[in-house]
Structure 1
C-alpha cells in the first residue's frame, strides 16, 4: 500500500537528548538515538515502505519531565522551532509535526499550541503522560482543573492530543523491583497511559469538551479489552468515587479517541480492536525508531482485514482527521 500516513514517529535533538535508558541494551540505545537525531535516513526508510507522510513528535519523556515551569516553556518553544526548521523544513512534503507543550504552565501551553498550529503549521499536540512540577515524584494529569485552558484551546483549534506513555512515578514503582526492564515500553508504559486515559474518560472532560480528540498508541493501551469490564463494574457499584462522566466509558472510547497500530504486530489484537471501536477510529503508526518500518509495514499490509479498512487505517482516516492531502512526491 502506497501513501501511508504514520503518526507516532519520534525525534530528538542533541540539545534535549531525553532518551537514555538504564534498562536497554547499549547498542539498541545508540541505534535509536542515531535515528532520532537524523532525518535523511528516516525519509529513505519511508520511501522503501510506502509511507508518504510521517507526523513527528519529540520523544518521551519530553517537555513533561522538565521540572522548572519557566524552563519548560522555553524548551517547548525551542524544540518546536527546531522541528519546524530542521525536520519539517527539510522535507515539507513528507514530514509534519506534533507540538511539544509546557503543561507545567497550562496557560503557556495553550499559547504554545496556538503558535505551533497557526504559525508553524503543526497538526496537533504530543503529551508524554503526566507533567512533573518541582520534582520527579510530582504529577499533574490532563484531567485536573488546572489544565482546562489547554483543553479549551485544542478544542478551539480543532487539533487532536496524542497521549504518549512515560514511566510511572518513582514512588509507584515498587511492583517493578527486580523486573525494572519492564518499567517502560514492555509493560509499565501501557498501564500508566491506560490509567491516565481512564481518568480523562471518567472526569467528564469529554462532556465539557465534546469536540476534543485524544490519540492513543499501541492499539489503545489495552483499553478496548479492559474498559468494558470497568464499565460493567461501575454500572453496578457506581458512586461519587467513579468520576463525573455522563455517558458510558466505552462511548467516549468510540467517539473521542483514535487508536494507532504503533508497536503492535498481532492480527488478533487489531481485529478485536476493530470490533470494539470500528475501522474509522484506527490509524497506522510505526513507533519509529523504537520499532522498525521494515517490520511493521509488511505486517500491516498482510494482516487479514478488508482492503477498504486497510485504506482507512493506512491513510484516509488520518487525511480526514488532520486535513491532509497526498504529497505529490510521496511513494
Structure 2
C-alpha cells in the first residue's frame, strides 16, 4: 500500500434531487436565493442569510477536482444534514429509495484508481435511511436491506433524533440488528446541536453552535446509546463518530466512573464504558494533534480515519487549499508519539479495513 494513500471518510454531498427538494421548500431547511445568489439555510441561526451554496455541494466533477487538488485517492461520500428529518414518514420512504439509487449511480460511474494492485472506484457512499418521527421501524429495516444490496454503498449516515426519541429508543433495536447483519458502517453525525438559548444574547454567528453544539450533541447521543447496552447485544455493529467523537474521548473516564457508581446504569453493561468507546471508530477531524491525542489512549490509532468535511468551510481569502484538509493532515503528521505506520493507517489504511476496500 502506497505511503501516500489518502482516503476521505467525512465528505458530504447534496445530490441534485435533494437540492431540488430543498429549493421547493419555503421553511428551514431550504435553498433560497438572496441578491441573486443561492443560499443554503439548515440551522435556525442562519435564517436571515444562510450560507453560499454551489456546484461543490452536488457536482461530482467538483468533488473530484477537490480530491485531486488535495491528493485524495478515494472518498466515502455521505449525504449532509439534515438528511430526511423534515419529511413525513411516507414521503421519507419514497425519497430515501430514490436518493440511494442516485447515490449508487453517482459512485458506480465514478473514475477508478489502483489500490493494492486492484482497481477501485474513487467514490463510495454512505446512504440515507428514512429515520424520521412517526416512521415504522419495519420501513427503516427494509431500507437497510435494500442498501446492503447496492455494491458501492458501504454504510449509512444517521443523525441523533431517531424516530423522535433519540438513538437509544428501544423501538430502534430492529434497525440496529438489520444494520449489523448487513455489515454496514453507521456514520453518526450531528445536526441539532444545543438549544439556542445556551449561547446567550451576544451575536457570535455560527461559531458556538458548530464548534461546541455539534460535538456536544454527538457526545450526549452516543453516551445514551452506550447506556442501552446495544454494543453488548450487537458486537458486530460498526459505529463511526463524526468530529473525533465530540467530547467523549476526554470525558470517557468520567463517564465510566459515573456509570460504575450508578447501580441502574451499571447493571445494563457488561464492561467499563471505555471498552465501548474502544469498539467505535472516529474521524480525525479535530484540527490539532493535541486533540487527536485524547482519542488514542483507549482506542488506538487503528480506529482513526481521515476526513475533510468538504464542502463546508471553504478556503479563506481566495486560497486554493482547504484548511479542513491541511490542518487535519498536519494534526495527524504531528501527533505525539505516532509511528509512520500509524500515520499511514490514519491517512488511508484504516479506511481500507473498515470499509472493505
Q: Could you say which TM-score interval applies, normalised by the shorter chain? A: 0.7 to 0.9
1 or 2, which has the higher strand percentage?
2
Please state if 1:202 is matched with 2:235. Answer: no
- How many pairs are equivalent? 311
Q: 1:319 to 1:64 in 2, by over 3 A?
A: same
Please state if 1:97 is matched with 2:125. Answer: yes
Q: Distance in 1 between matches of 2:47 and 2:76?
A: 27
Q: CA RMSD in A?
A: 2.4
1 or 2, which has the higher helix percentage?
1
The aligned counterpart of 1:251 is 275
Q: What TM-score results when the alignment is normalised by the length of structure 1?
A: 0.86
Q: 1:49 to 1:110 in 2, by over 3 A?
A: same
The aligned counterpart of 2:352 is 319
Structure 1 runs of 4+ with >6 Å offset: 25-28
Q: Distance in 2 between matches of 1:308 and 1:87?
A: 29
Please state if 1:222 is matched with 2:247. Answer: yes
Per the TM alignment, residue 288 of structure 1 is displaced from its structure 2 partner at its CA by 0.7
Give the 5 Å matches for 1:169-248: 172-178=195-201, 181-182=206-207, 184-236=209-261, 238-240=262-264, 244-248=268-272
Q: 1:243 to 1:71 in 2, by over 3 A?
A: farther
Q: Secondary structure at the match of 1:210?
A: coil
The aligned counterpart of 2:21 is 16
Q: Distance in 1 between matches of 2:47 and 2:95?
A: 28
The aligned counterpart of 1:85 is 105
Per the TM alignment, residue 159 of structure 1 is displaced from its structure 2 partner at its CA by 1.6
Q: Distance in 1 between matches of 2:293 and 2:122?
A: 29
Which region of structure 1 is more displaced relative to structure 2, 140-149 or 14-23? 14-23
CA deviation profile, 1:209-234 (whole Å, cap 9, x unmatched): 11111110111112110121121122
The answer for unaligned runs of 5 or more in structure 1 is: 134-138, 325-331
Q: What TM-score results when the alignment is normalised by the length of structure 2?
A: 0.80
The aligned counterpart of 1:266 is 288
Q: Distance in 1 between matches of 2:267 and 2:129?
A: 26
Q: 1:95 to 1:183 in 2, by over 3 A?
A: same
Q: Distance in 1 between matches of 2:21 and 2:108?
A: 18
The aligned counterpart of 1:60 is 81
Per the TM alignment, residue 89 of structure 1 is displaced from its structure 2 partner at its CA by 2.6
Relative contact order (C-alpha < 8 Å, sep 6+): which is higher? 1
